[in-house]
Structure 1
Amino acid sequence: MQLFLQQLMDGIATGALYGAMALSIVLVYRASGIVNFAQGEMAMFAAFIAWQAYAWGVPLWLAIVIAMIIAFIGGALAERLLIRPFGTEKSGHLPLIIVTLGLMLMLNSGAAWIWGYLTKEVPPVYGSGGLSIAGASISRQGLGIILTVAVGAGLLFFLFQRTKLGLTMRAAASNPESARLSGVPVGRMLLFGWGLAAAVGALVGALVAPQLFLQPNMMASLLLYAFAAATLGGFDSPVGALVGGLVVGVSENLAGTYIPFIGNEFKQAVALVIIMAVLLLKPEGLFGAKTVTRV
């Protein structure tokens, strides 16, 4: 029982990160209708910026805030300069997917060119040590991640449900044409959506860097889990992204512990199985809206 509680606790901690990364993917999908394959590399690049600021003597939390601000600007510029010229109304989704793949490769190579491939040690944001909860131990960093994601999710919920800006963003994402006719600056809302997603990704990158060790390819596996979480929850559901992240995190931990042929070395297969199962059985995800096509 104690082993189960330990794996459950660890799964919630990692699942919170998967859910937060999936949330950034969902924010872009809701804003532009595309899947941003560069989301992980954008988070990685922002984590390097935070590390560099910290190496120059900036306090760690301030370095993360600076990285989030720079990521917000970078995400907004990516939407304006790379995504908008190839809008789906002009050329469909395929060119946009290729553009995000190109951006992913550019950021990966750029980070390697600037900082190299040697891993960088990043101190845990919430310090070392751990706590015991119901017989299971959890690190201060893990508990801090859970609380940070919970607070961030609450702030985003407040933004989208209780503020004029959030309601305007939702209108622009759900029906751009009607929103334009109502005077909503759809272009600015898309720009803000990409910036917000990049800032969320930057926070995830900074939180996960101490565990994965900072290097250009560190986000590859986490992005796969984030895609599994977004697929499970629904690509148009922020709540689904967070729930999906927790389910994926707990599932992979329990599978790696209790299914012998999976173990710790083959846990990524769990994410792939979840993606395939959801696409086959419930393509819109657990919380996604069903699309009705008129024929």
Structure 2
Amino acid sequence: MQQFVNLTLNGISQGAIYAAFALALVLIWRSTRVINFAQGAMGMFTTYLALMLIENGQPYWVGFAAALVGGLLLGATVERVVIRPVEGGPELNAVIVTLGLFIALQALAAVLFGSTYESFPAPFALRGFDLNGFTVAFTPFSVFVIGSVLVVMLALVGLFRFTDLGLKMRASAFSQEVSRLLGVRVGRMLTLGWAFAAVVGSLAGLLIAGGSLVHPAYMEPIIVFGFVAAVLGGLDSPGGSVVGGLLIGLALSYVSGYLGSELVTLAALAILVAVLLVRPQGLFSHAAERKV
């Protein structure tokens, strides 16, 4: 019973991390209709920015804030300099560019920061809570991670459902020509979409790094699991991505605990294939929205 409880709590903690990355994918998809495969590398880059500040004596929260601001600027720059030239062409062009950017950022990080593993601090304790004489796999930092993910999810829901800015961003993503005729500054909306998504990606990078080791490729497993979570919940649904992240976290935790850690990646692939075969739009997406 204790093992089941620990696996469940560990799955929730890991699932919240996958959900954080999935939220970044959902945001970039809803605001630009592009899947950004460089999202993880961008988050890794801003996490190193935070680490440099912390290692130079700055408080954790200064590094945290600097990473988020760095993500905002990096996302806007990437859209303006890298993505803007291929906008308006075949959709596959932008996807290929993000794959190239992913490789370039990882290589640049290895040159600038080195390829060695470095410890990244956590703002809260990493020791599990004590319940009835035994320690559970759920820490104060896990509470912070889950709280952060819920705040981001609610912010995205509010942005796209209740604000004029969110409506303009979605309109620009679906039909740029019509949006321009209606007076929407499409270029600015696309830049904001990339910038906001990079902020969420930077937050995901910080949450993933907290209390663990970072290196230029530390985000790679999260990219896979976060993408599966986004597809499972639905790329149009912030709430669905959170639920998808938690479901993936729980499923992979149980697989690792009862069947073996070597089967985790295979289990994630099986879940992805099953979702694409049974409900390719995701559990919480509305097909009607995709037809507008």
- How far apart are residue 94 of structure 1 and its match? 2.1
2:85 equivalent to 1:99: no
Q: Where in structure 2 are there 5+ consecutive unaligned residues?
A: none
2:124 is aligned to 126
C-alpha change, 1:86 and 1:133, in structure 2 (3 Å) is farther
C-alpha change, 1:159 and 1:12, in structure 2 (3 Å) is same
* Deviation string, structure 1 residues 114-142 (Cα, Å, up to 9, x no partner): 11011111111223333246874412211
Are the counterparts in 2 of residues 37 and 100 from structure 1 also a CA contact under 8 Å?
yes
Which 10-residue stretch deviates more, 216-225 or 165-174? 165-174
* Deviation string, structure 1 residues 85-132 (Cα, Å, up to 9, x no partner): 101x32x12221221111001100111001101111111122333324
Aligned pairs for 1:240-255 within 5 A: 240-255=240-255
What is the rounded CA distance, in whole Å, between the counterparts of 1:274 and 1:22 in structure 2?
15
* Deviation string, structure 1 residues 134-163 (Cα, Å, up to 9, x no partner): 874412211211112112222232333333
What is the rounded CA distance, in whole Å, between the counterparts of 2:290 and 2:65 in structure 1?
43
Secondary structure, aligned partner of 1:193:
helix
1:138 is aligned to 138
What is the rounded CA distance, in whole Å, between the counterparts of 1:212 and 1:113 in structure 2?
21
TM-score (normalizing by structure 2): 0.92
2:31 equivalent to 1:31: yes
Letter aligned with residue 209 of structure 1: A
* Deviation string, structure 1 residues 60-80 (Cα, Å, up to 9, x no partner): 112111111111111111111
- Choose from 269, 285, 288 the match for 2:285: 288
What is the rounded CA distance, in whole Å, between the counterparts of 2:74 and 2:155 in structure 1?
22
Are the counterparts in 2 of residues 125 and 207 from structure 1 also a CA contact under 8 Å?
no
2:216 equivalent to 1:216: yes
RMSD: 2.0
2:153 equivalent to 1:156: no
What is the rounded CA distance, in whole Å, between the counterparts of 1:39 and 1:130 in structure 2?
30
What is the rounded CA distance, in whole Å, between the counterparts of 2:288 and 2:55 in structure 1?
49
Q: Where in structure 1 are there 5+ consecutive unaligned residues?
A: none
C-alpha change, 1:40 and 1:127, in structure 2 (3 Å) is same
What is the rounded CA distance, in whole Å, between the counterparts of 2:126 and 2:29 in structure 1?
36
Which 10-residue stretch deviates more, 4-13 or 224-233? 4-13
What is the rounded CA distance, in whole Å, between the counterparts of 2:13 and 2:131 in structure 1?
13
Are the counterparts in 2 of residues 28 and 35 from structure 1 also a CA contact under 8 Å?
yes
1:275 is aligned to 272
Which 10-residue stretch deviates more, 201-210 or 128-137? 128-137
2:79 equivalent to 1:79: yes
Secondary structure, aligned partner of 2:129:
strand
* Deviation string, structure 1 residues 7-34 (Cα, Å, up to 9, x no partner): 1111111111101101111111222222
What is the rounded CA distance, in whole Å, between the counterparts of 2:174 and 2:290 in structure 1?
16
Count matched residues: 289
Letter aligned with residue 271 of structure 1: A
2:263 equivalent to 1:266: yes
Identity %: 39
What is the rounded CA distance, in whole Å, between the counterparts of 1:266 and 1:182 in structure 2?
51
* Deviation string, structure 1 residues 26-65 (Cα, Å, up to 9, x no partner): 1112222221111111111111011011112221112111
What is the rounded CA distance, in whole Å, between the counterparts of 2:12 and 2:69 in structure 1?
27
What is the rounded CA distance, in whole Å, between the counterparts of 1:216 and 1:103 in structure 2?
14
Are the counterparts in 1 of residues 15 and 249 from structure 2 also a CA contact under 8 Å?
yes
Secondary structure, aligned partner of 2:118:
coil
Are the counterparts in 1 of residues 106 and 217 from structure 2 also a CA contact under 8 Å?
yes
2:43 is aligned to 43
- How far apart are residue 240 of structure 1 and its match? 1.5
Which 10-residue stretch deviates more, 157-166 or 194-203? 157-166
Letter aligned with residue 126 of structure 1: F
What is the rounded CA distance, in whole Å, between the counterparts of 2:29 and 2:281 in structure 1?
13
Letter aligned with residue 15 of structure 2: G
TM-score (normalizing by structure 1): 0.91
* Deviation string, structure 1 residues 169-226 (Cα, Å, up to 9, x no partner): 2333344333222212121111111111111111111111135411001000010001
2:202 is aligned to 202
What is the rounded CA distance, in whole Å, between the counterparts of 2:231 and 2:221 in structure 1?
15
What is the rounded CA distance, in whole Å, between the counterparts of 1:81 and 1:72 in structure 2?
14
- How far apart are residue 293 of structure 1 and its match? 10
